[in-house]
Amino acid sequence: MPQKVCKKCSAISETEKDFCPECGASYLEAKKEELIGVSPGTRFLSYLLESVLATVTLGIGWLIWAATLSGTGQTPGKKIMGLTVIDEQTKKPMTMGRMFWMRGIVAGFVAQIGIFFTLGILLFMPFWDKRNQNLWDRISASIVVNTQEVS
Ligand SMILES: [Zn+2]
């Protein structure tokens, strides 16, 4: 029998059923409490802001600014918009290594190819993704949330 922990009453039960035998709360319901990213519109604005910032600072200023934000899960555009990239599992801000290598380099590279071959359509992925994620969020197992939601 699988052991299940009830999110509502914290009882540990051995049951095949989908609900807690102690209080009747559904285990499925609890699982559905998934993290949802910020709205696609907000994501889109942050893409725009990021490119404007990178352009006006000739790229260099943006990089230096981004370096000062390392470990916070933020980039200059996200900082201004009050957004943070967090790990889907731990819900903690992305570490500098993962932010840079996984999200920036690996996911960024794959996403560029995807965006190119879909003629840019993939850039709008948060608009149809159920958790408002784009391709590089998926690849790097991250999600963008409002900074005040980060514990
Ligand atoms: Zn229960």
5-58: pLDDT as tens digits = 888 898 999 988 888 999 988 887 655 567 889 999 999 999 999 999 999 999
Whole-number Å distance between alpha carbons of 47 and 69 = 17
At residue 51, the pLDDT reads 92
At residue 18, the pLDDT reads 87
Burial of 101: CB neighbours in 10 Å, binned 0-12, 13-18, 19+: middle
Q: Regarding predicted confidence, which is higher, 101 or 38?
A: 38
- Residue 16 Cα to ligand 1 middle (Å): 14
- Residue 92 Cα to ligand 1 middle (Å): 27
Phi-psi group of 91: left, alpha or beta (phi > 0 → left; psi -120 to 50 → alpha; rest → beta): left
pTM for the predicted model, two decimal places = 0.73
- Residue 25 Cα to ligand 1 middle (Å): 5
Whole-number Å distance between alpha carbons of 40 and 134 = 9
- Residue 45 Cα to ligand 1 middle (Å): 42
- Residue 143 Cα to ligand 1 middle (Å): 29
On the question of pLDDT at 126 being above 80, the answer is yes
- Residue 136 Cα to ligand 1 middle (Å): 37
At residue 16, the pLDDT reads 87
On the question of pLDDT at 114 being above 70, the answer is yes
- Residue 102 Cα to ligand 1 middle (Å): 38
